[in-house]
Amino acid sequence: MTDEYGNIWTYRLKWAYTLLVVVTLMMPVFYVMFVSFNKNGQGAAEYVFTLEWYGAIFSDKLLIGALWDTCILAIIATIIVVPFGLLSAKFYKRARYKVMTVSLLLSPLFVPSDILGSALLVFFKNLNKSFEALSDWLGNEWFYGWFDLGYTTAIIGLVIYILPYVFVVILITMGRYREQQTEAARACGAGAWQAFWHVEFPQIRAGIFSSCAFALILSFNEYTRTSLLKGGYDTFTTVLISQFLNEGMSEQSYALSSAVSFIAIAVIGAIIVFTLIRSEKLERVARAKTQPVMST
């Protein structure tokens, strides 16, 4: 509690409200997790704890295949989007027209998923047709199918979706870093890449890893754009929704949703806790730095 704040009960009330909101937001998910352990499914009178629905997940070949595909998409998207985010952050720092740059980089946030998905779908189909025409004109098949709906297009959609988030996270991480260190490294003879790798990267590593986790989770969870752009195969989210629509929410869906949600929450929770611990440590070090040391 900061400031000379008069009423501690108002403070506690506001804290309670904040936590209440968080709990309310999470309530549907917790409920799903709760139901997933129930042998008798949702709404049944009697609650019997079981893990059998989780077991059922692993025996569903289609599901495992979809999960696998989703993992691959997520990993490739992350491998692309995190360096992109880093490049964008650096680009932004030295950009002359900062407002335009950041508007462009954040604009995917403001375009809803279905609109972007639809536009990209039509775009890729057109692109394919143009490339095919080009190929035909050249008399070969080099340019056929570059942008067929499939992995490539789904990854492009994911990268566009995730880029703003990664950009912001990395930018905030880089806020603590002092450019002078890069300059000092250059003054010691290091080239631009060496200076980054030896000096800057170790200091922003934490933020980069957080944004990797963030990107992985976001791509794993994404539905609309992926479903529009993925073409034939299934992803975790498309399997889920076909289950939902066909069978209603089956016990298996509950288990599946819970499992994935639990993993995501655990990962992010771990990162939050980790940064909590780290910042305690850093605070201690920073406090030590500001202690007056005998000048010599």
Site for other proteins contains 5 (CB under 8 A)? yes
Site for other proteins contains 212 (CB under 8 A)? no
Q: What is the DSSP string of 80-103?
A: HHHHHHHHHHHHHHH-SSHHHHHH
Binding mask 230-269 for other proteins (x = CB under 8 A): -------x--xx--x----x-------x--xx--xx-xxx
Site for other proteins contains 7 (CB under 8 A)? no
Nearest-angstrom CA–CA distance, 263 and 269: 10
Site for other proteins contains 192 (CB under 8 A)? yes
- Closest CB to other proteins among residues 55, 112: 112
Q: Using CB under 8 A, which residues numbered 137 to 166 contact other proteins?
A: 156, 159-160, 163
Q: Note whether 224 and 117 are within 8 A (CB).
A: yes
Q: Using CB under 8 A, which residues numbered 21 to 40 contact other proteins?
A: 21-22, 24-29, 31-32, 35
Nearest-angstrom CA–CA distance, 28 and 125: 38
Site for other proteins contains 12 (CB under 8 A)? no
Tokens of 165: 């988030």
Size of the site for other proteins (CB under 8 A): 113
Instruction: Count Cβ neighbours within 10 Å for each residue of 11-36 and write b for 16 or more, e otherwise.
Output: eeeeeeeeeeeeeeeeeeeeebbebb
Q: Using CB under 8 A, which residues numbered 63 to 122 contact other proteins?
A: 84-85, 87-88, 90-91, 98-99, 101-102, 104-105, 107-122
- Closest CB to other proteins among residues 139, 276: 276
Nearest-angstrom CA–CA distance, 199 and 184: 9
Candidates 14-22, 46-54, 60-68, 134-142; binding stretch for other proteins (CB under 8 A): 14-22
| Given 63, 74, 222, 234, the residue binding other proteins (CB under 8 A) | 222
| Given 63, 220, 234, 255, the residue binding other proteins (CB under 8 A) | 220
CB of residue 79 to other proteins, shortest distance in Å = 14
Query: Is the Cα dihedral 203, 209, 210, 215 positive or negative?
Result: positive
Q: Using CB under 8 A, which residues numbered 266 to 295 contact other proteins?
A: 267-269, 272, 275-276, 279, 283, 285, 288-289, 293-295
CB of residue 59 to other proteins, shortest distance in Å = 21
Q: Note whether 206 and 213 are within 8 A (CB).
A: no
Query: Is the Cα dihedral 29, 34, 37, 40 positive or negative?
Result: negative
